[in-house]
Structure 1
Amino acid sequence: MERESMEFDVVIVGAGPAGLAAAIRLRQLAEESGQDISVCVLEKGSEVGAHILSGAVLEPRALNELLPDWKERGAPLNTPVEDERFLLLSEKGSRNIPVSLLPKQTHNHGNYIVSLGNVCRWLAEQAEALGAEVYPGFAAAEILYDESGRVRGVATGDMGLDRSGEKKPSWEPGMELLAKYTLFAEGCRGSLTKGLEQRFGLRDGRDPQTYGIGIKELWELDPAQHKQGTVIHTAGWPMDDKTWGGSFIYHLEGNQAYIGYVIGLDYQNPHLFPFEEFQRFKTHPAIRPMLEGGRRISYGARALNEGGWQSVPKLAFPGGLLLGCAAGFLNVPKIKGSHTAMKTGMLAAESVAEALAGGDEGYGTLESYEEKYRGSWVHEELYHARNFRPAAARWGNRLGFLYGGIDLKLFGGKLPWTLHHKHQDHETLKPAAEMPKIDYPKPDGVITFDRLSSVYISNTNHEEDQPVHLRLADPSIPIDKNLPLYDEPAQRYCPAGVYEVVRDDDGSNPRFVINAQNCVHCKTCDIKDPAQNINWTVPEGGGGPNYPNM
């Protein structure tokens, strides 16, 4: 059976902030100019927002430009930041660092504590009201190219294949979505974006991208411990000086709070267990009392880009563009990327509309997008913040934070040099035998929890009888190489318990097991596997987490 196809002027892969901002801006420009620009947005989650996970404190700068009347339209920005604190933690104590001493870039006055998933649901409504078509539950699995090698669109994956790839009675072929331009807004470490970077050399001459893993819980707090509008960040314990990491705690409305931890994926010790480090963090004397008497509601995890300005790839290629976190526009000292994602989506839309208005039917590249980015406040913001993350990687957290603070606070990020990222994250692990083991306490089920109970409240669901979407290039590597050298770190870096090494009762015959149905789509395995042997691909559309209010 041949695949059916649909044609649009623009197809956008991903209904996150970048993709939806692009759709809205394209339809706005179509109305302003009288053009008829057809726009389709594909989203792999079961609904818009189902796979969106971010802190999140939203800086409304891009939203103000895109939809100046967002308050009147009912945007779910309900909690302005009213109080913020920064704590430096030791194992037993904490020191409050006055926010006035921190760089202005890190301040949150004028920002809002939000559920980014709910913001995206609202943005999708605005896009559809303007005439864009938004299709959740459709996972773009393949890039389509024309005879000249130019991107011609994408195809969704087949539905109804069993675990061995054979057709079940419910089998349906994927659909081809063809476009004059295809915009990739897949988020951090997009599976299609990886292929585009390799095919078109988009990373040539750029620094490697570096990443963090963010693990987050939504809590309903005891009202006595809740202060709406409060933002708290911490650094220090439980990380050592060589391991990048820190927490966020955001008090939103309804006695609820987001609490999470980010750990840089350039860590060296293969015994490190990011999920357990987060659980351990919650037991700190400055944190635990806030959670006592409350209850955990939801859980999730997602990788985030931390490379910054020097790691942004080439953005344009024949037939398409990279937007938002697919390209890596997160501002590390701000710990924010939604505002830059939205702005780059808007810039991409403007470049596409100009090309279409000029009679370009999509057979060239949109170099004007690169020019718009370089002339925008996104570029300026990232350029000033460019040395913050590599300073910590080079000199450790204490000296790195000191350098970054001086650079931003005293010089505004304008010092005349750029520090570079020297390694990819999968290259940094040291042999397990050379690194100290870490003793993690057992969860108490009240403040701390295990991974499987956490995955349960992420509402993660996949059709079990489908091809495994976590694919090994060489199935022998986990046991033959990673296990003896690194004690197979996939057992620990995955925040969802996807990867296990199981043995017979006597401890012999180790086997590598992939529990793909647990996957929360964080992409950590694709990034951190030391052999780069794991390739994350999309499962059937609609599979994965279903995050509520996250």
Structure 2
Amino acid sequence: MERESMEFDVLVVGGGPAGLSAAIRIKQLAQEKGQEINVCLIEKGSEIGAHILSGAVMDPRAITELFPDWKERGAPLDTAVAHDRVLFLSREGATEVPHWAMPDTLKNEGNYIVSLGLVARWLGEQAEALGIEIYPGFAGAEVLYDEQGRVTGVATGDMGRGRDGEPGPNFQPGMALLAKYTLFAEGCRGHLGKQLEEKFKLREGVDPQTYGIGIKELWEVKPEKFEKGLVLHSAGWPMNPDTYGGGFMYHYGENLVSVGLVVGLGYTNPHLSPFEEFQRYKTHPAIKGVFEGAKRIAYGARAIAAGGLQSLPKLTFPGGALIGDDAGFLNAARIKGSHAAIKSGMLAGEAAFEALAAGRAQDELSAYPAAYRQSWLFDELYRARNFKPYMAKGLWLGTLLYGIDQKLFGGKAPWTLHNTADHTKLKKAADCPKIDYPKPDGVLTFDRLSSVFLSSTNHEEDQPCHLTLKDASVPVRINLAEYDAPEQRYCPAGVYEIVKEEAGPRLQINAQNCVHCKTCDIKDPTQNIVWVVPQGGEGPIYAQM
């Protein structure tokens, strides 16, 4: 069946803060100048915000630029940060960092604790009010090009194919969405973004991107345990000092506490399980008291692009650009990315509007990277550029060196350190100690499957598996033999399972559990796993995350 097609001036792929802000900014400028520009935004989640997961503490700087009257418009930035705490944890103890000694990147005066999913939904409402066409449940599955190799849009995924890839009785082919400019805002490790980086060699001359996995739960706690506006960050236990990461706990709304752990995916021990590390984190004496008598109401996980300035790819190519975390605009030192996503989307939107107003199409939006280099966003990322490379040296040495970098040089030391790809760092299983994780108690600590249930994840089973293997023999022949099948542990949703049969072990992929975190695509030591989009509208539904 032939694809139907629709044409737009601008197509935005992804309905997170970056994509929505880009679309909004274009429409704002068009209204100011009295021009008609049609903008379409597609989102693979079942609704705007369904796949959005973040801590989250939000710097309002960018959203204030986008909507100076966001308070009057009812933006869901309701809980101002009232108090910052930073703890260094040992197995039983906790040492609090005095406020004067805290790096400025961890001070949150003027920021807000938010549900980023609710912020995205609000941005979606503002976008629709401006006349932007929003299509949730449509996954961008393929980049489309013209004869000159310029990006002309995307094709959405087919619906109704069986597990064998053949069309079923309810088959519907995807649509071709064509545009003069296409902005890719898929979030961290976007699968179309990966293809664009390869086709246009966008990573030539820059460092590999590095990542963390953030695992988060949302709890409703007793009023006497609740400290509205408290932002707590921690480093140290349960992870070894040589493993980058840290915990967080944010009190916001009415008796809501989001608690989570970020584990850098550059860890070396293949026996490590980020999910189990997070469950252990909640048992620390300085943490667990908050959850006495509390109720866990949501769970999710998402990869985080943490490489910073030196890991940003070239942002543009003929016909489009990468924005938000599809490029890697996150400040790992601040543990914040939403303000950077919004700002990058605005800058790209402004460049796209200028090009359309000048009658151009499918060229490179060179005004976007030029504007970025003149913006506060570049300055912020430049000052934090050495954070991740320093922390890769270990917790104590990294903290000392980064402290010197910030306090003595103000983030402007005359050197820039470099990043290494996470998948290259795993050691062989035989060379690493096994880690004995305690069994979950079902009260404070939980297993993967009960957690995935809380994410409302759903995939139609009779469809092609969206977790693809370049070589089906590699999981057993290499990953199991050399690394003890680390995909069983780095996946926070129980997707990967080694099944032992008479004919020998095999990898079973429970794709219906996938929460779209992208960790497998990042951490697989052989880079054999390739994440592609399932049917549109599937995956988690993060109602409040």
What TM-score results when the alignment is normalised by the length of structure 2?
A: 0.99
Letter in 2 for 1:369: Y
| 3-state SS of paired residue (2:328) | coil
Q: Where do 4+ consecutive residues of structure 1 move more than 6 Å? A: none
| 3-state SS of paired residue (1:31) | helix
1:251-262 to 2 correspondences below 5 Å: 251-262=251-262
Report the CA distance between 1:222 and its aligned residue.
1.4
Report the CA distance between 1:410 and its aligned residue.
2.8
Report the CA distance between 1:295 and its aligned residue.
1.1
1:181-192 to 2 correspondences below 5 Å: 181-192=181-192
Partner of 1:222: 222
CA shift digits 1:38-70 (9 cap, x unpaired): 100000000000000000001000011000000
| 3-state SS of paired residue (1:239) | coil
The alignment covers a number of residue pairs equal to: 545
Question: In 1, distance between residues paired with 2:5 and 2:257?
Answer: 44
1:215-364 to 2 correspondences below 5 Å: 215-362=215-362, 364=363
Report the CA distance between 1:100 and its aligned residue.
2.2
1:457-496 to 2 correspondences below 5 Å: 457-496=454-493
Partner of 2:507: 512
Report the CA distance between 1:94 and its aligned residue.
0.3
Partner of 2:411: 413
**Mapped contact 2:79–2:112 kept (Cα < 8 A):** yes
| 3-state SS of paired residue (2:280) | helix
**Mapped contact 2:309–2:381 kept (Cα < 8 A):** yes
CA shift digits 1:190-238 (9 cap, x unpaired): 0000000000000000001000000000001111111111100000001
Matched, 1:379 2:374: no
Matched, 1:524 2:522: no
Question: In 2, distance between residues paired with 1:219 and 1:105?
Answer: 26
Question: In 2, distance between residues paired with 1:161 and 1:385?
Answer: 46
Letter in 1 for 2:443: V
Matched, 1:537 2:532: yes
Partner of 2:451: 454
Matched, 1:368 2:363: no
Partner of 1:201: 201
Gaps of 5+ in 2: none
Question: In 1, distance between residues paired with 2:120 and 2:212?
Answer: 22
| 3-state SS of paired residue (1:37) | coil
Partner of 1:124: 124
| 3-state SS of paired residue (2:408) | helix
Letter in 2 for 1:544: G
**Mapped contact 1:104–1:409 kept (Cα < 8 A):** no
Q: Which moved more, 1:401-410 or 1:213-222?
A: 401-410
Q: Which residue among 436, 439, 443 is the counterpart of 2:440?
A: 443
| 3-state SS of paired residue (1:500) | strand
Report the CA distance between 1:409 and its aligned residue.
2.4
Letter in 1 for 2:369: E
**Mapped contact 2:231–2:248 kept (Cα < 8 A):** yes
Question: In 2, distance between residues paired with 1:535 and 1:149?
Answer: 24
CA shift digits 1:334-358 (9 cap, x unpaired): 0001001100100001101111111
Gaps of 5+ in 1: none
| 3-state SS of paired residue (1:9) | strand
**Mapped contact 2:319–2:361 kept (Cα < 8 A):** no
Partner of 2:394: 396
Partner of 1:100: 100
**Mapped contact 1:102–1:409 kept (Cα < 8 A):** no
Question: In 2, distance between residues paired with 1:51 and 1:361?
Answer: 31
Identity percentage of aligned residues: 65
CA shift digits 1:18-38 (9 cap, x unpaired): 000001100000001111111
Question: In 2, distance between residues paired with 1:281 and 1:76?
Answer: 29
Question: In 1, distance between residues paired with 2:188 and 2:124?
Answer: 20
Report the CA distance between 1:429 and its aligned residue.
0.3
Question: In 2, distance between residues paired with 1:62 and 1:40?
Answer: 22
Letter in 1 for 2:340: T
| 3-state SS of paired residue (1:503) | strand
Letter in 2 for 1:458: S
1:419-438 to 2 correspondences below 5 Å: 419-421=417-419, 423-438=420-435
Report the CA distance between 1:90 and its aligned residue.
0.3
Partner of 2:8: 8
| 3-state SS of paired residue (1:452) | helix
